[in-house]
A and B are shown apart, each in its own frame.
Chain A
Amino acid sequence: MSMTLVEKIIADHANLAEVHAGEIVVVHPDLVLANELSGILAIETFFRHGRDHIFDPDQWVFVPDHFVPARDIRAANTARRFREFAYENGIQKYYELGRGGIEHVLLPQEGLIWPGALVMGGDSHTCTYGALGAFAIGVGSTDLAALMVSGELWLSVPETVQIVYRGTPSPWVEGKDMILYTLGQIGGDGAHGQVMEFHGALLRTLSAADRFTMCNMAVEGGAMTGIIPPDAVTQAYIVAHGNKYYDEKALSTTYGNAHKIIDIDITGLEPQVAQPFSPANSVPVSAIGDVPLDQVMIGYCTNGRLEDLRRAAHILAGRSVHPHTRLLITPGSQQVYQQASAEGLLDIFLAAGAMISPPSCGACLGGHLGVLGAGETALSTTNRNFVGRVGDVKSRVYLSNPTVAAASAVAGRIIAPQELPGLVSHPQQVIPTTELWSPLEVTA
């Protein structure tokens, strides 16, 4: 019986010849991620059950990124205990502040993710790594504690739904718009417990940054994770970042198998904006109406990569943030921050009147570094706009791509970028002039 890409990856990590959707299996992940919040609860659970040293320190990566730099004394003590546990257990892949960043930008950049890898992380957006052809899922803290005990964990093998994009969108469309539109089409629970496997001619030409953004938000469609079968773009990324070798031939036998196929026609698609209070509540930016903005947030794990900051800088160069609006820029990692500095992007942001935040999950989850007050409205490039997500229960959050966010910061209300005078083209049009070679076209 043929397997899907994800079934193949799971079988390889369960020591089984075949696995199929619906089965419960025990897998040994290549990599397990903890941040200081999911990690501290796991560490407490681990100790409470009489354990002291973890099964395999090399399996782990520890990234403090949520409430750091410490927002208060409790957060400082959480980060301290998390750090001490890493040191005591000999976890080499511990990324201190100033040498790391936001986990989902950091891990691929550090070469820790590769096609065919099985990754578990104590964070729901672990699904981001599917962009490189890994099977990566978010788990809870007791899951992490069990992985500390034995290095393995149970898993329900998911079905795969192929999302196949057809047609050519407007030149202002980015990966963020494709995933927001997809969520709008299928709903916030449209891929319940399944894997969203992304396909289509346009997808093959998307940059790795756009792919990370898309897979990052698979969980917002109710999916267990998202994945993109590896191709030339994947190959170029992993060569550039020193990621591990993978067996392309073994994986490629599984491409094309799926439990369900959903066609998404993106012909003429406009940039999308998700309205409160669901990422699946997306509409074209032209239909958004008059939405004045108190705050605009660009960056984070969804859109905090160098390509994203370049797009924002292209819009903001020579322009100023609206007097009634605050703009926060949060680079996804220390490396992104440094590269943005070297390219002069930070100078553009500062001159425009933006505030640059350290790489941290920060306000995205209502933690610190820019949470919203009662009645305030924000446009954000993050992944969630649930009630109270970014601060006060009476605040409202809209979601968009970085280009729309930057243009809207200038206008002080949500606008399409081309509404700004003097802006003629997208800074980094995602539809390239030459098609990249790819063996993986889905013809179904």
Chain B
Amino acid sequence: MIEGHVWKYGDNVDTDVILPGRYVSLTNPADLAQHCLEDLDAEFAQHVRPGDIIVAGSNFGCGSSREMAPLAIQGSGISCVIAASFAPIFYRNAINIGLPILVTQQVAAETKQGDILNVDLLTGRVENVLNRRIFQAEPFPLLLNDIIRSGGLLPYLTNNRQGLK
């Protein structure tokens, strides 16, 4: 179970604003975190607290495939990103590095900046602590669930020597 304050953003948040191109030669999550969302919300990197949750609209993480974008979010201490939908490459990247994500249109539509969400990553149950509303995120396919449970793609491959099945 995780609980955190919401940072709320709209549709089509691209990876250029999540982690601008001028910083993509950084690879350390702590260094990347200093510039996370810099071109969209200059307040974010200064005020984000461990456990906070990003809630966004559709196509979150569109654009560049740069994995530095989800790494910057992970380095910021964000516990979970909830969006109406994720761009295909960002979706892969988040699962592969072990950054928790949930897909649900309702949470994106009915959550405000500063709300507090309680999230059960195992079941996909999301509760808005301020108004007690409960939402259910979409389930993940079996293999992706196994990768998520392993903490990412490389830990999965270490645990499953026969490879992806």
**A-B interaction:** yes
Q: Using a CB–CB distance below 8 Å, which chain A residues touch chain B?
A: 24, 26, 37-38, 40-41, 44-45, 48-50, 66-67, 74-75, 78, 122-124, 137-143, 145-146, 149-150, 152-154, 156, 158, 188-189, 192-193, 219-220, 222, 224, 278, 365-367, 371, 384, 386-389, 391, 393
Is the beta-carbon distance between B16 and A389 smaller than 8 angstroms?
Answer: yes
Is the beta-carbon distance between A139 and B65 smaller than 8 angstroms?
Answer: yes
- Could you pull out 29 A-B pairs where Cβ atoms are within 8 angstroms? A37-B25, A38-B67, A45-B154, A50-B158, A75-B25, A124-B63, A138-B89, A140-B92, A142-B96, A142-B152, A142-B153, A142-B154, A143-B93, A146-B96, A146-B154, A146-B164, A149-B157, A222-B88, A278-B12, A366-B16, A366-B21, A367-B24, A371-B22, A386-B14, A386-B16, A387-B16, A387-B17, A388-B20, A393-B39
In this complex, how many residues of chain B approach chain A with their Cβ under 8 Å: the count is 47
- B123 on the A face (CB < 8 A): no
Distance in Å from the Cβ of B40 to the closest Cβ of chain A?
7
Is the beta-carbon distance between A145 and B92 smaller than 8 angstroms?
Answer: no
Which 3 residue pairs across A and B have the least CB separation, nearest first?
A142-B96, A140-B93, A365-B21
Complex Cα distance, B68 from A38, in Å, reads 9
Is the beta-carbon distance between A193 and B88 smaller than 8 angstroms?
Answer: yes
Is the beta-carbon distance between B165 and A26 smaller than 8 angstroms?
Answer: yes
Interface-forming stretch among B2-10, B127-135, B136-144?
B136-144
Is the beta-carbon distance between B92 and A143 smaller than 8 angstroms?
Answer: yes
Q: Using a CB–CB distance below 8 Å, which chain B residues touch chain A?
A: 11-12, 14, 16-17, 20-22, 24-25, 27, 38-40, 58-59, 62-68, 70-71, 85, 87-89, 92-93, 96-97, 141-144, 147, 152-155, 157-158, 163-165
Distance in Å from the Cβ of A153 to the closest Cβ of chain B?
7
Distance in Å from the Cβ of B133 to the closest Cβ of chain A?
26
Complex Cα distance, B95 from A156, in Å, reads 13
Given contacts A38-B66, A124-B89, contact A386 B25 (CB under 8 A): no
Is the beta-carbon distance between B63 and A143 smaller than 8 angstroms?
Answer: no
Distance in Å from the Cβ of B35 to the closest Cβ of chain A?
11
Find the A residue at minimum CB distance from B161. A150
Distance in Å from the Cβ of A17 to the closest Cβ of chain B?
18
Find the A residue at minimum CB distance from B22. A366
Is the beta-carbon distance between B59 and A189 smaller than 8 angstroms?
Answer: yes
Complex Cα distance, B88 from A193, in Å, reads 6
Find the B residue at minimum CB distance from A194. B88
Complex Cα distance, B64 from A224, in Å, reads 12
Given contacts A37-B24, A146-B154, A152-B164, contact A122 B59 (CB under 8 A): no
Q: Which residues of A contact B58 (CB under 8 A)?
A: 189, 192
Of B63, B67, B144, the residue contacting A140 (CB under 8 A) is B67
Is the beta-carbon distance between B12 and A189 smaller than 8 angstroms?
Answer: yes
Find the B residue at minimum CB distance from A48. B154
Complex Cα distance, B59 from A278, in Å, reads 13
Complex Cα distance, B141 from A393, in Å, reads 38
Complex Cα distance, B35 from A393, in Å, reads 13
Known: A220-B63, A278-B12, A386-B16. 19 other contacts (CB 8 A): A37-B24, A49-B154, A74-B25, A124-B89, A138-B89, A140-B66, A140-B92, A143-B153, A146-B153, A150-B163, A150-B164, A152-B163, A192-B58, A192-B85, A224-B88, A366-B16, A367-B24, A371-B22, A387-B39
Q: Which residues of A contact B158 (CB under 8 A)?
A: 49-50
Of A150, A156, A371, A388, the residue contacting B157 (CB under 8 A) is A150
Complex Cα distance, B143 from A49, in Å, reads 20
Complex Cα distance, B95 from A139, in Å, reads 12
Find the B residue at minimum CB distance from A23. B141
Distance in Å from the Cβ of A413 to the closest Cβ of chain B?
26
Is the beta-carbon distance between A142 and B97 smaller than 8 angstroms?
Answer: yes
Is the beta-carbon distance between B68 and A41 smaller than 8 angstroms?
Answer: yes
Is the beta-carbon distance between A188 and B21 smaller than 8 angstroms?
Answer: no
Q: Which residues of B contact A153 (CB under 8 A)?
A: 164
